[in-house]
């Protein structure tokens, strides 16, 4: 399928087509969000609703050789969230089958 027929000619077009749909957002600091995208701007500031945040917490265990860490996962849900664009690494739109 040609990108021009989808209306995707530049990166922000993909974000625009994802409005009112559930997206995956990867943030700095080992954080990930999934939520419904309501708004965005040129700085990648995002407004999301029905958000689930996943935080990866990497702990170095004392007495264990270097490189052996444990990873704990913390999750929380929020009704509405403003995401500042300078923390956004990736925005993945919903799969279009």
Instruction: Measure the CA–CA gap between 93 and 96, rounded to whole angstroms.
Output: 9
pTM (two decimals): 0.82
pLDDT along the chain (97 residues), means of 10: 67 92 96 97 97 90 74 94 97 81
pLDDT of residue 29: 92
pLDDT of residue 71: 83
- Where is 15: in which H helix or E strand? helix 11-16
Nearest to 55 by CA among 25, 86, 76, 83: 76
């Amino acid at each position: 399928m040609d990108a021009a027929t989808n209306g995707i000619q530049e990166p922000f077009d993909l974000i625009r087509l994802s409005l009112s749909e559930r997206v995956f957002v990867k943030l700095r600091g080992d954080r990930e969000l999934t939520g419904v995208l309501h708004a965005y701007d040129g700085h990648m500031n995002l407004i999301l609703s029905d958000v689930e945040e996943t935080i990866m917490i990497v702990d170095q265990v004392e007495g264990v050789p270097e490189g052996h860490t444990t990873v704990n996962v913390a999750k929380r849900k929020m009704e509405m969230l403003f995401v500042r664009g300078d923390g956004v690494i990736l925005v993945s739109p919903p799969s279009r089958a």
